[in-house]
Structure 1
Amino acid sequence: MRNLLLTPKNAMRLTTQLAEMRGAAMKLGQILSMDTGDLLPQELADILATLRNAGYAMPDAQLQEVLADGLGPNFEKKLKGFESRPFAAASIGQVHRLSTRDGRAAVLKVQYPGVRESIDSDVDNLASLLRVSGLLPKHMDMSPLLAEAKSQLHEEADYEQEARYLNAFVRALATTSGFAATSDPLSSSSRILGMTFVPGQPIEDVAHADASSVIASRPFYSSCSWLSSFNCV
Structure 2
Amino acid sequence: MSDLPRRAVTRTAKLASLPLGVAGRATIGLGRRIGGRPAEIVAAELQQRTAQQMFKVLGELKGGAMKLGQALSVFEAALPEEVAGPYRAALTKLQDAAPPMPVRTVHKALAENLGTDWRSLFVEFDDKPAAAASIGQVHRAVWHDGREVAVKIQYPGAGDALISDLNQLGHVARFAGALIPGIDVKPLIAELKARVAEELDYQLEAEAQQAHADEFADDPDIFVPRVVFQAERVLVTEWMTGTPLSKIIEKGTPEERDQAGHLLVRFLFSGPVRTGMLHADSHPGNFRLLPDGRLGVLDFGTVNRLPDGLPEPIGVAMRLALDDEAEGVMEVLRAEGFVKPSIKLDAQEVLDYLLPMVEPAQVERFRFTRAWLRLQGARIGDPRNPASAMARQLNLPPNYLLIHRVTLSTIGVLCQLDAEVPFREELECWLPGFAELEYEIDDELDEFEEFDELEETAGTEGAGGPDGAAGAGKSG
TM-score, length of structure 1 as denominator length: 0.82
Cα distance change, pair 210–130 in 1 and its aligned pair in 2 (3 A): closer
Change (3 A) 1:177 1:94: same
The superposition leaves residues 78-100 of structure 1 with CA deviations (integer Å, 9 ceiling, x where unpaired) of 21000010011223211100101
Contact 1:19/1:56 (CA < 8 Å) preserved in 2?
no
Residue pair 1:26, 1:92 contacting (<8 A) in 2 also: no
| Alignment root-mean-square deviation, CA | 2.9
Question: Which SS does the other structure have where 1:55 is aligned?
Answer: coil
Report the secondary structure of 2:137's partner residue.
strand
Larger Rg: 2
Q: What residue number does 2:144 align with? A: 101
Alpha-carbon shift at residue 215 of structure 1 (Å): 2.3
Structure-1 separation of matches of 2:268 and 2:172: 35
Counterparts of 2:243 and 2:136, CA distance in 1: 19
Superposed displacement of residue 157, structure 1: 2.1
Aligned twin of 2:317: none
Specify the alignment match of 2:61 in structure 1.
Answer: 21
Q: 1:200 aligns with which of 239, 242, 246?
A: 242
Question: Does structure 2 conserve the Cα–Cα contact (< 8 Å) formed by 1:35 and 1:45?
Answer: no
C-alpha deviation, 1:39, in angstroms: 6.4
Amino acid of the residue matched to residue 264 of structure 2?
A
Return the offset for 1:150.
0.8
Find the counterpart in structure 2 of residue 54 from structure 1.
97
Pairing 1:212–2:288 present:
no
Residue 113 of structure 2 aligns to which amino acid in structure 1?
G
Instruction: Give the 3-state SS of the residue equivalent to 1:110 in structure 2.
Output: strand
**Are 1:226 and 2:275 counterparts?**
yes
Is 2:139 the counterpart of 1:91? no
User: For 1:136-175, what aligned pairs fall within 5 Å after superposition?
Assistant: 136=177, 144-175=187-218
Deviation at 1:213, TM superposition (A): 3.4
Taking the TM superposition and a 5 Å limit, the aligned residue runs for 1:61-100 are 61-100=104-143
Match of 1:176 in 2: 219
Q: Deviations over 1:163-217 (max 9, x none)?
A: 011111122223433333311112x123211100011222243332431233223
Q: For residue 96 of structure 1, give the secondary structure of its aligned residue in structure 2.
A: strand
1:178/1:34 CA distance change after superposition, 3 Å: closer
CA contact (8 A) 2:111 2:117 kept: yes
The secondary structure found in structure 2 opposite 1:58 is coil
Unmatched segments (≥5 aa) in structure 2: 1-21, 27-44, 278-305, 310-476
For 1:184 and 1:171, how far apart are their aligned partners in 2? Answer: 10
Asked if the contact 1:203–1:212 (Cα under 8 Å) also holds between the matched residues in 2, the reply is yes
Q: Is the 8 A contact 1:110 1:191 kept in 2?
A: yes
* Inter-partner Cα distance in structure 2 for 1:95 and 1:118: 19
Q: Which amino acid aligns with 2:307?
A: N
1:42 aligns with 2:42: no
Instruction: Give the superposition deviation at 1:45.
Output: 4.9
Measured in 2, the distance between the counterparts of 1:19 and 1:66 equals 25
TM superposition shift of 1:222? 2.7
Higher relative contact order, structure no. (Cα contacts within 8 Å, ≥ 6 residues apart): 1
Q: Kindly provide the CA deviation profile for residues 63-111 of structure 1, in whole angstroms up to 9, marking residues without a partner as x.
A: 1111111111120122100001001122321110010122110010111
Bigger fraction of residues in helix: 2
Task: Provide the aligned length of Structure 1 versus Structure 2.
Answer: 225
Q: Structure 2-normalised TM-score?
A: 0.43
The 5 Å alignment of 1:130-141 reads 130-131=173-174, 134-136=175-177
The residue identity in structure 2 corresponding to 1:212 is A
Structure 2 SS opposite 1:182: coil
Closer, same or farther in 2 for the Cα pair 1:148/1:44, shift >3 Å? Answer: farther
Q: Quickly say closer, same or farther: Cα 1:77–1:199, change in 2 above 3 A.
A: same
